[in-house]
Amino acid sequence: MPSLSPTMEQGNIVKWLKKEGEAVSAGDSLCEIETDKAVVTLDANDDGILAKIVVEEGAKNIKLGSLIGLMVEEGEDWKHVEIPKDVGAPPPVSKPPPVSKPAVPPQPSPQPQISSPARKEHTEGTPRFRLSPAARNILEKHSLDASQGTATGPRGIFTKEDALKLVELKQMGKITESRPAPTLSASVPPPATGGPSYPRPMIPPVSIPGQPNATGTFTEIPASNIRRVIAKRLTESKSTVPHAYATADCDLGAVLKVRQDLVKDDVKVSVNDFIIRAAAVTLKQMPGVNVSWDGEGPKQLPSVDISVAVATDKGLITPIIKDAAAKGVQEIADSVKVLSKKARDGKLLPEEYQGGSFSISNLGMFGIDEFAAVINPPQACILAVGRFRPVLKLTEDEEGNPQLRQHQLITVTMSSDSRVVDDELATRFLESFKANLENPMRLA
């Protein structure tokens, strides 16, 4: 099992493209492997015969370096090839056991304690109270026991007022002193059977903590390698990268007019293509945003490579428009179409989705007005784009008279890594991006 991406730790055998005993030439496709990014074809390095398929197609979570097949040179007896003893097929990955109800940890053996009237141990038929410090002092001073009274404090606490009532009753002769001699108790009291062992009052009732779903009440969904890596990287990003957010509204009126003119000339481009081009031009103007953080510090990136988020059945993947600042809108449109199709078909090559200096995620086609996206490390920024929508604005005509005019606006939100792109730089970037997008001539 080879490493087919920098972050790959294990792979799945999707399909074998050669059969045992079949001749193989250098460069021939042997099998399809699902990595943490995409489905990649494994090609043969040498001529020979595929003698043994060690790991059948459909096998999952095969660790890097595990033996998946054997090849022999032409003319050798491939039918009787032996699997090396020191390298065998990886053990099957077993499913995790169903989550069961957590076991109650054993209670530590109680140590011998000195009993006193004010801190009486719980015994059968005698309630145990939580005492406020003032109540404890009063009870000890007057040789009284809390069990002789009633706790009226919040959550069953025996308060100072409750203790003073006992003192009153004692002075009236209605109760007697409780003065047991302090003794060293070495015996372990019998465990309580009706509730928790700790002295927590049942007023109000103790809440029951949530428990995992019992086996059989849910359906386990197998996670692909891509889903696992997406979950891992998103968690790492949100927990280790200090995200900052800035939002701006952009007027698409001029872009929509240019797009209509291009359609008349049979040039088909989308609004997203203009957004990619505007971001590329702005990054070229402001190289301080075209950076990454590698764990030690910021790195200035020489080329503007924009990652475009594409939703697939297996998860989100970000193919890259290489050197986007040097491409026109139509060339960007052509690249996006080709890469998006390859992404959905699972045919992206590693160099087509690894790297990038800036990301764009557009949910406008799903009717989303605005949202904030998670940064894709080691990149420093990602631009989240919502749908364009009609908005009425009060403006002035040529004669200075107020009038209502309809504008097509989109909301963009940039998430930036505060370690390398501070709020001031992010704000200036959005100002320049807005100016470039609203004036398409700047994108030519």
Q: Tell if the pTM clears 0.75, that is, is over it.
A: no
- Distance (Å, rounded) from C-alpha 224 to C-alpha 367? 28
**3-state secondary structure (DSSP) of residue 120:** coil
Which tokens go with 250? 């952009």
- Distance (Å, rounded) from C-alpha 4 to C-alpha 305? 21
Neighbours of 18 (CB within 10 A): 18
pLDDT for residue 411 = 96
Selection from 90, 32, 96 nearest residue 62 by Cα: 90
pLDDT for residue 198 = 47
Which tokens go with 131? 């005492």
Rounded CA Rg of the chain: 35
- Distance (Å, rounded) from C-alpha 272 to C-alpha 12? 34
**Tokens 């979950």 -> residue:** 231
Dihedral angle, C-alpha 245, 249, 255, 259, nearest 10 °: 80
- Distance (Å, rounded) from C-alpha 237 to C-alpha 378? 9
Selection from 268, 105, 271, 115 nearest residue 196 by Cα: 105
- Distance (Å, rounded) from C-alpha 76 to C-alpha 387? 63
Which tokens go with 185? 């108790």
Which tokens go with 107? 């209670």
Residue ranges of the chain whose pLDDT lies below 70:
86-129, 155, 177-215
* Contact (Cβ atoms closer than 8 angstroms) between residue 20 and residue 52: yes
pLDDT for residue 153 = 77
Whether the upstream peptide bond of residue 204 has omega within 30° of 0, thus cis, is yes
Question: Across the strands, what pairs with 29?
Answer: 43
Q: In b/e form, how buried is each residue of 266-281, taking b as 16+ CB within 10 angstroms?
A: eeebbbbbbbbbbbbb
Amino acid at 228: R
Strands of the sheet containing 48-53, edge to edge, are: 23-24, 48-53, 69-72
DSSP symbol at 149: S
pLDDT for residue 96 = 46
pLDDT for residue 395 = 82
pLDDT for residue 390 = 92
* Contact (Cβ atoms closer than 8 angstroms) between residue 70 and residue 52: yes
> Phi, psi (5° rounding) for residue 228?
-60, -45
- Distance (Å, rounded) from C-alpha 365 to C-alpha 275? 14
> Phi, psi (5° rounding) for residue 379?
-60, 160
pLDDT for residue 155 = 67
End-to-end CA distance of the chain: 47
> For residue 30, how many C-alpha atoms fall within 13 Å in the half-sphere facing its CB?
28
Q: In b/e form, how buried is each residue of 395-432, taking b as 16+ CB within 10 angstroms?
A: eeeeeeeeeeeeebbbbbbbbbbeebbeeebbebbbeb
